[in-house]
Amino acid sequence: MKRIALVSDAWAPQVNGVVRTLQTTAGLLRDRGWTVTTITPDRFRSVPCPTYPEIRLALTLPGTVGRMIEAAGADAVHIATEGPLGLAARRHCLKVGRPFTTSFHTRFPEYLQARFGVSPAMSWRYLSWFHAPARSVLVATPRLAAELGTHGITRTRLWSRGVDLSRFRPGLPPPAAYAGLQRPILLNVGRVAVEKNIEAFLQTPASGSKVVVGDGPALAELRARFPQALFLGALTGDALASAYAGADLFVFPSRTDTFGLVLVEAMASGLPVAAYPVGGPLDVVGDSGAGVLDDDLDAAIRQALRIPRSAALFHGRSFSWDAAASQFEAAIADCVADTARLQSKGTARHRELTPEAENGR
């Protein structure tokens, strides 16, 4: 039996790309014969994260996470986030000499600078320290791996992303809220927060209707400042798929995302993309012909509206969760092998030191 402990401070009921990625990967690993134990905030008392109330910070004693890892009989430990649970798991693994992998999902230095004015250099020092002992740091794109390398995080491995093609597809009936909207319908999906730069989208002079799907701390302010835009709040499942399929263009103004899972969902739904030429869009859309990346977002919108939906659909369908899960599985399989080697060395060393071994010489 293959057993993994997956430790994450991001988990349901949060709705974001990190949670979708982890939950999808956990499901695929179970299909492949892994026993997956999730050590996540829903298993603890928790408090809301300042300015991110939907993110729950787990309250736990230092040794609790370690005991959960050992009780799971984990062959591998993957630490997905750098929060309280991730810290506790990291501390335990280092204490007992257990190899582990980590993953890098969020550019917190840019987020903390945008929200609180915290120096990115300070945040990068913490992240470099956190990930340094990991056997592998899993990243979504080669561009992100290169960026992390400049901050001293060098043991990276690719872990891409996929899309549920049975859900995100063209031809679905549009939401009732789209009735009567002026075309083209320009859609943005994601967390409504300052680091997502949604204001840049809403300020563009592009004609048509602007629709924002998502929740977050900036929602009330943006609703008040841009009453002409349609804010639908958070949507999931079929409602989210319909919001994509019923629109005409996906606009992604974020400059901080490490990947942008919503980009793949949009393209798989037949939506061309307009975005800035930054990490995330450069890797996911690039020169595929499925979108336009331009420092002038309004120009990107106007040009992307001329792209046939078939081009976006073709590129969106090239992303596979199964392939992404294989990348993840390969990384943790190598970590399992490291664990086995350490255990073998430990057993051999123990035999050398026992009286029985001494007497047998």
Q: Is residue 249 helix, strand or coil?
A: strand
- Over residues 243-270, the pLDDT tens digits come to 999 999 999 999 999 999 999 999 999 9
Residues 85, 108: Cα–Cα separation, whole Å: 17
Residues 224, 7: Cα–Cα separation, whole Å: 38
Joined tokens for residue 251: 């606009």
Q: Is residue 101 helix, strand or coil?
A: strand
Residues 158, 139: Cα–Cα separation, whole Å: 5
Task: Please report the pLDDT score of residue 360 as a whole number.
Answer: 44
Q: How far is CA 281 from the centre of its chain?
A: 14
* Sequence-ordered alpha helix ranges (H) in the chain: 17-31, 64-71, 84-96, 108-116, 120-131, 142-149, 198-203, 219-225, 237-245, 261-268, 281-284, 297-304, 309-316, 321-353, 355-359
What confidence tier does 361 reach under pLDDT thresholds 50, 70, 90?
very low
Answer whether 39's CB lies under 8 Å from 5's CB: yes
Joined tokens for residue 129: 């320290």
Query: Element (H or E) spanning 273, and its range?
Result: strand 273-275
What confidence tier does 15 reach under pLDDT thresholds 50, 70, 90?
confident
Residues 61, 157: Cα–Cα separation, whole Å: 32
Residues 51, 43: Cα–Cα separation, whole Å: 22
Helix axis angle for 84-96 and 64-71, nearest 10°, is 70
- Over residues 166-210, the pLDDT tens digits come to 999 999 999 999 999 999 999 999 999 999 999 999 999 999 999
Residues 99, 97: Cα–Cα separation, whole Å: 6
Task: Please report the pLDDT score of residue 285 as a whole number.
Answer: 98
Joined tokens for residue 47: 């408090």
Answer whether 232's CB lies under 8 Å from 211's CB: yes
How confident is the model over 340-348, as a mean pLDDT?
Answer: 65
DSSP 43: G
Which single residue is written with the structure tokens 């999931």? 236
β-partners of residue 103 are 138
The better pLDDT of the pair 133, 60 is held by 133
Which single residue is written with the structure tokens 């798991």? 89
**Domains, the chain, ranges and CATH?**
2-162+321-352 (3.40.50.2000), 176-316 (3.40.50.2000)
Residues 38, 5: Cα–Cα separation, whole Å: 6
